Chain A
């Protein structure tokens, strides 16, 4: 997608123009994000669209090329790639726990070692998530170690 940014004169209203053949999900998500002016995420469950705050999400996981957002009790589908979410939510304490998982640091209750240099995170809702050896460094950095 080509992005063009034009300077406007002082006092002139700022404007976003989208040129496309068809409004797909990703574009709709972007438009909604601009309209909302907040960081809420569009998620899907049983054909319904929901808006949820990123901090309410415990982790994201890719399963069969679909990305799911796991909250305390609910699971939603999200139509973004995991790397896009990683970039977008890095400032909100989300970090890569494995190639397929993006974990919210704020919901981790405790950590314990698993074999092979991996760690197991126990989340606030009692779920266990494995942190791969190659991403332990990122977690330590996030914790200031």
Chain B
């Protein structure tokens, strides 16, 4: 039960990170590709963001970073997770008509947006871990 709560908490934390990333990327995306009738787009768009973020977060249940694995397995795990996130976002994008597959520029823009959010979150998490490592090294040096 405790383990499940921890996993659920990790999913929720990821959900908030992804939601923030998607909203930021969407703002940039809409400003480039969006039309003038924004009031008709923004209202349903919020619900669509939540659905997309929820589906992206659920992926962390399948790509479990708590598992102990080799560097190679970890890399494969990350690639698998990245492919999953692409499928979810592009799938949602097609379903919610954020873009059209026939327009390669829009498709490319979406792929770039996914990459920016995914690697942005990775970089952010790595940066936080780097700070933690520095603090722990300071404590180690004081011992």
Contact = CB atoms under 8 A, between A and B. Distances in A.
A108 B140 CA distance: 8
B133 A99 contact: no
A113 B68 contact: no
Given A118-B74, A119-B132, 13 more contacts: A111-B133, A112-B133, A114-B74, A117-B125, A118-B65, A119-B129, A119-B133, A132-B68, A133-B66, A136-B132, A139-B136, A143-B136, A144-B139
Interface residues of B, number: 22
B139 A116 contact: no
Report the contact-size class of chain A (Cβ under 8 Å from the partner).
20 to 34
A108 B139 CA distance: 11
Given A113-B126, A115-B78, A132 B66 contact: yes
A111 B66 contact: no
Interface string A105-145: 01011111111111100000000001011101001100111
16 contacts: A106-B143, A108-B140, A111-B136, A115-B74, A115-B78, A115-B122, A116-B65, A116-B78, A117-B129, A118-B74, A119-B132, A119-B136, A132-B66, A134-B6, A139-B136, A145-B139
A111 B140 contact: yes
Interface in B66-90: 66, 68, 71, 74-75, 77-78
Nearest to A144: B139
Contact of B137 (A110, A117, A140): A110
A130 B74 CA distance: 12
Nearest to B128: A113
Interface of A: 98-100, 106, 108-119, 130, 132-134, 136, 139-140, 143-145
Interface string B114-143: 000000001001100110110111011001
Question: Which of A110, A115, A116 has the largest number of chain B CB atoms within 10 A?
Answer: A116
A132 B136 CA distance: 15
Nearest to A97: B68
A108 B75 CA distance: 25
A113 B132 contact: yes
Contacts of B130: 112-113
B12 to A, nearest CB: 15
Nearest to B69: A116
Given A116-B74, A117-B129, A143 B68 contact: no
A111 B137 contact: yes
Contacts of B75: 115
A92 to B, nearest CB: 14
